[in-house]
Structure 1
Amino acid sequence: MSDPIEAAIFETLAKADPKGVGGKSVEPADVAKHIQTEQWQRVLPKVRATALHLMRQGRLTITKKGKVVDPANFRGVTRLRLPTEAETAAALAALPPKPEVDDDFV
């Protein structure tokens, strides 16, 4: 099952950047308004949390004043965009390694 907020983020980005070449960004508020036109402010914290989760997975980039933010420490006005290949690789490299499964005990 897909997360509706995650889907709304990528739908809003697709409208802003139909060719998917990257570089075009959207505000988290635009995504919140896409989800709920009235009272979109209530959805905004969930949009930001989902965007942060996607950034840590390497599927989204959060920027502030055109520069990529540190996912562990940022505040203020941000924008969302699709990541470059280098940004995706860096995010995946930062993830903790997955534990190996020992076939003898399975």
Structure 2
Amino acid sequence: MTAPMSEDAKKTHKPDPITERILAMIADGKSVTPQEVAQAFYKDIKTPTMSPDGWHKYLTAVRQQAIHLARLGQLEITRKGEPVDPNNFKGVVRLRKVQAPLP
């Protein structure tokens, strides 16, 4: 378990840019793949000297942040349109905002 942040740490703490990108991309209610997030993130930081397919190296970080956000209840990881357990899933997945339960 991690210790709570001090007030000074909270003031200087910068949100993770990959987390911000994920949340921005699902804000409109659409789902996205981790690959789409990695590509969009890379496009934001890419310089002319960087490889066009360098987004691959950010894919693991995107998946890790998506799992973290799913555990916090800020998004859902889905497979074939159904939410999966963020602690135990495989295969092709999408990320989306948490859906309200049907009445």
TM-score by length of 2: 0.71
Root mean square deviation of aligned Cα: 1.3
Q: Which runs of 5+ in 2 are unaligned?
A: 1-13, 44-51
Could you tell me which of 56, 60, 63 is aligned with 2:75? 60
Q: Does structure 1 retain, via aligned residues, the 8 Å contact 2:67–2:87? A: no
TM-score by length of 1: 0.69
CA separation in 1, counterparts of 2:15 and 2:62?
14
C-alpha displacement at 1:64, in angstroms?
Answer: 0.3
Runs (4+) of structure 1 exceeding 2 A deviation are none
Q: Does structure 2 retain, via aligned residues, the 8 Å contact 1:13–1:25? A: yes
C-alpha displacement at 1:7, in angstroms?
Answer: 0.5
Percent of residue pairs bearing the same amino acid type: 47
Residues matched between the structures, number: 79
Could you tell me which of 37, 41, 46 is aligned with 1:35? 41
